[in-house]
Structure 1
Amino acid sequence: MVATRHWSKYLLLNVLGVCIVVIQPSFIPTQAVEKEAQRTQAKLLTEKGHELLDRGRNSEAFEAWKQATKIYRKLQYEQGITGSLINESLALQALGLYPRACNTLLQALKLDKDSSICDTSLEQATDSESTTASLKAAIDKQKLTQVDLLGLQNLGDVLRLIGKLDTSFAVLDKASQIAKNLPTESKISNFNNQLLLNKANTLRSLYYQFKSKYQLTDEPETKQNALLKAQENFYLTLKIYKQLIADKESKTYIQAYLNQLSLLLEIEKWTNLTKESSQIITTEQSLQQLFKVLSTSKEKFQQLSPIESIYTRLNLAQSLTEINQNSKFKQLLFPQSSSLIVALDTAREALILSKELDNKRAESYALGTIGKIYDYLGQVTESKQCLETAIGLAQSVQAWDIAYQWQWELGRLYQQMGKADKAKEAYTAAINNLDKVRGNILAVSPEIQFKFKEKVEPVYQEYMELLLSQKNPNLKQVVSVQEKLKLSELETFLECGKLPVISLLDSQKLVDLPPTIYVIKLKNRIEVIVRTPEGNFYRHTKDFSLLSNSINSLLKGIQNKEITGIEESDLLIYSQALYNLLFAPIKKYLPKSGTLVFVLDSFFQNLPIAMLHDGNNYLIKRYNISTASSSELWQSQTLNPNKLKALIAGISEVSPSFQNPLVPRNFNALPKVKTEILNIKKNTTPDSKLLLNAKFTSEDFRQKMKDNPLTIVHLSTHGQFSSAPEKTFILAWDIPVTVKKLKLLLKTQRSGIDLLVLSACQTAKGDERSALGIAGIAVKAGARSTLASLWLVEADSTTKLMSEFYKGLRNGLTKAEALRLAQLKLMSDPKYSHPYFWAGFILVGNWL
């Protein structure tokens, strides 16, 4: 475990044996007494700020350093200004205000012309090669002092915390190169080692990022590339730790040792890496060597600053706890004793130090760690007391990222004790605090940002399992938890903060709410929950193994290029099986016709619900169908048939964007697109705009969006939906517009668009969660509803379906009704009756 809030940087100056205020101009006797007093005051304020930061009084530390900066500005002392601004950034980081800390460091380093590097908005939240190159060039032009190098080190750390990992590494690497070239007498003690440790931290975050990408995507190529990148960054991180360990006199020695230990334990959990690990010695050998040295190196803790000593001890305690959970390592390293006893003693030492320092955050972390260890030791009462106290301390300093973890642990503990009501209270509190963390995801450790599968998803899933295990479960609460989980998943996909949406459960905000069907995948089963228009909830449960074969077979069939050669009767075997398992048991709670809203777990989002078959008819024969990746939607609004102003864009020829490496080689020209968009123009208002072929460049599209308030945006062009954001795109004439760039093109539509239509796109083959990309595009576009296809459908039938769909809208039908009637029109035509032609079109979001 890397120190939870990266406190090592907060006392960086002390770690290096340097205090910024020491570097002051020599005292000149003729200077005014007032200036001497001001310098003294600035120095005292600087020291006071460090003392306050040590104790977790971050706002007060910031104010102290702000006053010091003001004095240095008055004295026109540049080194003092730079150092004091760096100090201010330390307090801002401690407050979780990372973008602001980043801008403060740029100001300190006189690099604020490149302030876009600190931008964490949706469209700027990822690295840009050009921005990184520009920043490096600006650094090269500066004449950097030792104080500036400290600023670069902190800038690298802050960039890591706001997710700019490649830029973070580039800045730290540049600082390292500059430091090596300083004259020997000018080198700061241990500075290069500290920079190496910072670089290892960034590489480790890159490892977590790619591991998370591997876990969260099902797109085969992206998954494989993520695995290779995770491996690469794991080995690079390990290499630096070994390099640091070689310098036994360095203050980073013990930190590097313990970080290596925790990294090796981490990699053991992820078998995909260890199976292919050939570049390093086995984990068992490494651990044995580590523990042999560690047992004789405990005095190294004394070399650390107090706050670093606390978190380094907790790092060790956490690793010892993990060793206890691995029988192989437990036998190898502690054959005669318990690693938990050593872990408990180590965590207690950290607790004593945190109390002496009066740092509530550190104290909470220490107490929570002790509480977990007591749980493993079977000392339930002691565990409960420690966890409850740790929660109170975390909440007292608004450390929600810590509080939710201890509430999660407390919920598990109460569940073990058979106290279901108490467990529910704890889980509810944990999720409420997770909501706060989601609202400012950049204010937490990258280990939480990039550990959705380990640190976020299980909290929601365990709580749902607990709720459903009750005799009369509160199904509304289950659905509410599922809503939060799916929304969190979408936010993770988009790498953004909390999205502004309205819950379907809040019936006061939505009129004429149709029946809503939630399909939730838990560990070994599927839960189908129905919410009726009256607000009643009903539940049906099926073993997952009964559905998985039918789902996989149906998805494999419908994504096949030669699907029209597969007999409809062969597909019916699976669509009828799924109907009987998922839908038939809840049929009695539903009206015989009307609109149904399906809220599907990610595993089911590629499933064409319209294809479910009761043995006589497809589901689409009876119902208008809308789907949602989450049951939380943007504000509901019915389309006005007299205000169907649209921007209609399409590509019918092979364009330059086809040559982009991102684009699959099997994309061909779409000659029928011209006919399709002309037909659509006839069914929208006369002031609708057309962009065809070379006129549909990304810039022309952006300009048309800017100049025209629109109801509908219709794109007849190739595109791909994937669970990997970088593989989710729409082709403009000149470039593929990825989901992350789409916001830039559409941001001029302040009120959002009512309907986004993507008529020639498809889901990525082999990607079971690719429909997440549809939801991602809808969010980026600010679209209340999105009509898209799960696979690339034959052009003539698509043209006919779209024409019928827009006729329906013009006639005042809801979007769901218009889509259904268009699908039925195709189905009634013998030429297009096969599900391939009509079942792939889905409406995501608002059905009105």
Structure 2
Amino acid sequence: MKTQRLNFRLVIVAVLSCCLCFLTPSLSMAQGGGFALIEQGLVAYPQNPAAAIALWRQALPQGTRNTQALIYHYLSLGYQELGRWQEAEEALREGFRRLPGGEAGENLAVEARLLNTQGRFYWLTGRPQQALGAWQRATRAYERVEDREGVIGSLINQSQGLLFLGFPLEAKGVLERVEGALEGLPEGDLKEQGRQSLGRVWRQVGDLRRSEAILKQGRSSGSGLELGNTRRVLWQRAIAFQEEPDVESALSAYQEAFQRAITPLEQVQAQLNGLSLQIAAQRWREAAEVQASLAPLLAQLPPNHFSLETQLNFAQSLICLQEELNRVPGVPGCPAVPPVQSTPTGAIIGQQLAQGVQTARELGDLRLESAALGQLGELYERNQQYSEAERLTQQALRIAEDRQALDLRYRWEWQLGRLAERQDNPEGAIALYKIALKTLDQVRSTLLPLDPNIQFDFRDNIEPIYRRLAELLLEEKPGEENIKEALETIDQLQLVELENFLRCRILPLVPITRNLAYLDDQTALIYPILFEHRIAIIVKFPHQPFKAYWVDESRDEIENEAWDFVDLLINQGESEKIYELGNSFYKKLIKPWESELKNYPALKHLVFILDGALRNIPISALWDEKDQKYLVEKPYSLSILPNLNVFDLQRVAQTKLNLLLLGVSEERTIEDENFSALENVERELEEIGAIFPAKTLLNADFSQQVLEQLLENESFSAIHIASHGQFSSNLENTFVMTYHELLRINTLQRLIRTNFERRLTPLEILSLSACETATGDNRATLGLAGIAVRSGAKTTLASLWRVNDASTQVLMTEFYRQLQNPIMTKAEALQLAQQELMKDVQYNSPFHWAAYILVGNWY
């Protein structure tokens, strides 16, 4: 779990750094007795918060009311650092109580600090809305006393709160204010700290190039460290998108941070991040060399909070370099099993961790004591000493529960679940995994939206809990209730993954039970779930309980075959190979339950909720070798759902469509990217406009500004966009092109959803013609699902790959022509349009018709 712990620490530091840089008081604010004690506490704080607290408490009786208020601000920070939340809250309460009346500058300056610290407290205790409010009030107070440092810090904190609460555009606006304020500052510590914080938050917003640009201007070890972190995310992203990864630029940034370092701790932090990256890149020889050079540096560090945390992270790196400690399956935290390395043995690592436990106790740092105990438990788990691992993990969990350390709690609950499994107690494991997921649900809001690293660690550090719980439920008690609970577990995983991609909560949600009740006699639900060594296919036929069917094929095999199938379709490969792979997927996904279809003569529609790499394949192109038919040629229309509770599946009466048609047919260059002309767009919009009442914005008329004005004044029930666009697992690379700019998901949501919600008129259909999924991106359909969900449209029609725009024009026109029939569902209209295209000898290849999928409500 090393990466998870480090990343969570980065998130917290990003939010808190501004609080921590305000520790030095002006003499005017700290007048009166006890100033020497206050100053001693400030010096002790970074190394030993508990010692600082003791000094500040000694200073309390000697100060004026204003000085006492300031001391309580420091005390709350110290208690928060140690996870002593009740005392932290009481210190804040006492601080506000000590503030003298009136609005003298001194009082207002202390109040601003208290407000900033209060925001920090609310944030760490899971109250982001209150945190944002406190930071906004802090900013106003800092502005009134003309404290530029305070304004910059509280604005950065505000941006974090806005980002988390689902206001990324507002967050970016705040960050741009910070950027402007920094430009006017002379070079110095404040500007350097501001750059570091700003670079961090731009990284968290997802603007990695902007983060890199501002951090490159830095001159300190801290800026170099943050630059390495940003470049590490760029490296991870390149791997995810099958681009050329550049690990050297991140490593060189860490090396530069090491060279700039003034203190041994700064040197160790730079080296440790470099070591972690070498391990992630599986550069074992280089990693072994770095760890050897780190050991003497670590020996120079005094025994304090930061050095202990560093020691624990170093121990985890040592574990990852030990072949014998990585043979136990299911333990997260290391990218692969390394070759044998000349690193300390497991026994020596265990001694280091045991010493870490003792040091944490001497420091009174319960959070790090929990971390050290849990990590030691993990070491015993890896060494297959399960009883001792369980004892240590239970100790770690008790402390984490007492300290309300949710990020540690879910790790130790998960660890206890694995240990229960290893000791042949599957029911105990199920119970513990459920508890871990409940804890994770509380903490993931902090973990997921704010650190891009988490997106890339998701599959290793969060997803396995959901999948293993679902698999155990199906294995141990494969009855109706357990099958349903397994489905709901994976459904929650699908939601978490989508929220992770969008970096915000999706609200409101439709209860799964309500959506299941909407499934009528004509609809069956098919929900394949990928496990490590096999597939479970959960099927819900009308008025029947869930049934589970098993297919013996591993997740890796499925993913490889899925990419082969998609590559064949996109490149219009040999028909025989397309048939072969299409039939292979038909046998896996349809054959196990196909014999049941004869029992449901009214059945007309199949809804698929696809998992993992299966989301990339076009269901319509599955080939039945026996009947010599594609699935789209069978008597069933098809649709896709991202999961069971982000769309309302209630059937409502069809209304006549009133369309807004948007398109760009001309060649364009936007954001240094060239987009080719789409010669058939004008004809496509013209023919659709002849079928339904429509308003058209074409080429220069289709801009963000014109679209916004139009939606302010007119109402439409469907929007059809015929322009370049892309779906990607990178939020910033998911867009629709206007004539002048790229509309990304959040901008599109602001333009479309907010206007339709204000008018209380649902958007029936969002059609995205000429869009495509990012090549080589195995999670690109998250972008498609993200657009579908964020737009607020009941149904989204889109394509999995870029299709010839001549065949697109034929298919789209036929789709809308079919919708003229008032009893025709959208899924049936798409099926008939695809079948019509198949009759045309120019377009009968599945390349032309299979790409189109319907996401959301199919009625």
1:526 matched to which residue of 2? 535
Paired residues for 1:115-514 under 5 Å: 117-118=159-160, 119-120=162-163, 125=168, 134-141=177-184, 196-197=221-222, 199-200=223-224, 202-214=226-238, 217-218=240-241, 220=242, 223-224=243-244, 227-228=245-246, 231-244=248-261, 247=262, 250=263, 253-254=264-265, 256-257=267-268, 260-261=271-272, 263-271=274-282, 274=283, 282-294=286-298, 296-297=299-300, 300-302=301-303, 304=304, 307-308=305-306, 310-324=308-322, 325=325, 332-334=342-344, 338-353=347-362, 356=364, 359=366, 361-441=367-447, 448=454, 451-470=457-476, 472=478, 474-498=482-506, 500-502=508-510, 504=512, 506-507=514-515, 510-512=518-520, 514=523
- Provide the rounded CA distance (Å) in 1 between the counterparts of 2:826 and 2:22: 67
1:772 aligns with 2:770: no
Aligned residues: 783
Label 1:438 to 1:338 Cα distance change in 2 as closer, same or farther (>3 A): closer
Task: Report Cα offsets for 1:419-472 as digits up to 9, x if no partner.
Answer: 100111111112222222334446877764652133212222333443444373
Residue type at the aligned position of 2:655: N
- Provide the rounded CA distance (Å) in 2 between the counterparts of 1:477 and 1:583: 22
Task: Report Cα offsets for 1:752-788 as digits up to 9, x if no partner.
Answer: 5221111222333444443332112212312221111
Return the offset for 1:350.
Answer: 4.1
Task: Report Cα offsets for 1:118-147 as digits up to 9, x if no partner.
Answer: 531687538999865652332344689989
1:20 matched to which residue of 2? 25
Task: Report Cα offsets for 1:677-704 as digits up to 9, x if no partner.
Answer: 23323433x4x42212221112112222
Residue type at the aligned position of 1:20: P
Task: Report Cα offsets for 1:142-172 as digits up to 9, x if no partner.
Answer: 6899899888877777777777777777888
**Which one of 90, 96, 105 corresponds to residue 60 of structure 1?**
90
**Which one of 836, 840, 859 corresponds to residue 825 of structure 1?**
836
**Which one of 818, 822, 825 corresponds to residue 814 of structure 1?**
825
- Provide the rounded CA distance (Å) in 1 between the counterparts of 2:91 and 2:207: 26
1:644 matched to which residue of 2? 657
Residue type at the aligned position of 2:312: L
Q: Is contact 1:20-1:80 (8 Å) kept?
A: no
2:57 matched to which residue of 1? none
- Provide the rounded CA distance (Å) in 2 between the counterparts of 1:619 and 1:462: 31
SS of corresponding position for 1:633: coil
SS of corresponding position for 2:794: strand
Q: Is contact 1:152-1:172 (8 Å) kept?
A: yes
- Provide the rounded CA distance (Å) in 2 between the counterparts of 1:449 and 1:437: 15
1:757 matched to which residue of 2? 767
Return the offset for 1:53.
Answer: 3.1
SS of corresponding position for 1:49: helix
Label 1:426 to 1:234 Cα distance change in 2 as closer, same or farther (>3 A): farther
Task: Report Cα offsets for 1:159-197 as digits up to 9, x if no partner.
Answer: 7777777777788888x77xxxxxxxxxxxxxxxxx634
Return the offset for 1:648.
Answer: 1.4
1:587 matched to which residue of 2? 594
1:731 matched to which residue of 2? 737
- Provide the rounded CA distance (Å) in 2 between the counterparts of 1:4 and 1:774: 28
SS of corresponding position for 2:616: coil
Label 1:532 to 1:168 Cα distance change in 2 as closer, same or farther (>3 A): same
Q: Which moved more, 1:6-15 or 1:106-115?
A: 6-15
Q: Is contact 1:519-1:528 (8 Å) kept?
A: yes
Label 1:312 to 1:649 Cα distance change in 2 as closer, same or farther (>3 A): same
- Provide the rounded CA distance (Å) in 1 between the counterparts of 2:16 and 2:732: 38
Label 1:682 to 1:154 Cα distance change in 2 as closer, same or farther (>3 A): closer
1:186 matched to which residue of 2? none
Return the offset for 1:623.
Answer: 0.9
Label 1:535 to 1:579 Cα distance change in 2 as closer, same or farther (>3 A): same
Residue type at the aligned position of 1:784: K
- Provide the rounded CA distance (Å) in 1 between the counterparts of 2:391 and 2:195: 43
SS of corresponding position for 2:488: helix
Return the offset for 1:583.
Answer: 1.5
Residue type at the aligned position of 1:202: E
Residue type at the aligned position of 1:237: Y
Return the offset for 1:348.
Answer: 1.5
SS of corresponding position for 2:655: coil
2:39 matched to which residue of 1? none
SS of corresponding position for 1:629: coil
Label 1:340 to 1:376 Cα distance change in 2 as closer, same or farther (>3 A): farther
Residue type at the aligned position of 2:316: Q
Q: Is contact 1:518-1:599 (8 Å) kept?
A: yes
Task: Report Cα offsets for 1:519-567 as digits up to 9, x if no partner.
Answer: 233334333332223232121313247766764443222212xx3xx66
- Provide the rounded CA distance (Å) in 1 between the counterparts of 2:594 and 2:291: 57
Task: Report Cα offsets for 1:648-681 as digits up to 9, x if no partner.
Answer: 1122x315x44543345xx2232x3233223323
**Which one of 686, 690, 694 corresponds to residue 696 of structure 2?**
690
Return the offset for 1:733.
Answer: 1.4
- By relative contact order (CA 8 Å, sep 6+), the higher-ranking structure is 1
1:704 matched to which residue of 2? 710
Return the offset for 1:596.
Answer: 0.4
Residue type at the aligned position of 2:701: K
Q: What runs of 5+ residues in structure 2 fail to find an aligned partner?
A: 34-61, 327-336
Paired residues for 1:535-546 under 5 Å: 535-544=545-554
Q: Is contact 2:31-2:63 (8 Å) kept?
A: no
Residue type at the aligned position of 1:318: Q
2:69 matched to which residue of 1? 42
TM-score of the superposition, structure 1-length normalised? 0.81
1:623 matched to which residue of 2? 636
Q: Is contact 1:642-1:810 (8 Å) kept?
A: no
- Provide the rounded CA distance (Å) in 1 between the counterparts of 2:165 and 2:108: 35
- Provide the rounded CA distance (Å) in 2 between the counterparts of 1:146 and 1:567: 64
Residue type at the aligned position of 2:510: I
1:192 matched to which residue of 2? none
Return the offset for 1:625.
Answer: 0.2
SS of corresponding position for 1:501: coil
1:604 matched to which residue of 2? 614
Q: Is contact 2:565-2:578 (8 Å) kept?
A: yes
- Provide the rounded CA distance (Å) in 1 between the counterparts of 2:451 and 2:586: 44
Label 1:343 to 1:707 Cα distance change in 2 as closer, same or farther (>3 A): farther
Label 1:539 to 1:41 Cα distance change in 2 as closer, same or farther (>3 A): same
Q: Is contact 1:720-1:729 (8 Å) kept?
A: yes
TM-score of the superposition, structure 2-length normalised? 0.80
SS of corresponding position for 1:600: coil
Q: Is contact 1:125-1:163 (8 Å) kept?
A: no
- Provide the rounded CA distance (Å) in 2 between the counterparts of 1:711 and 1:454: 42
Residue type at the aligned position of 1:37: T
Q: Is contact 1:711-1:755 (8 Å) kept?
A: yes
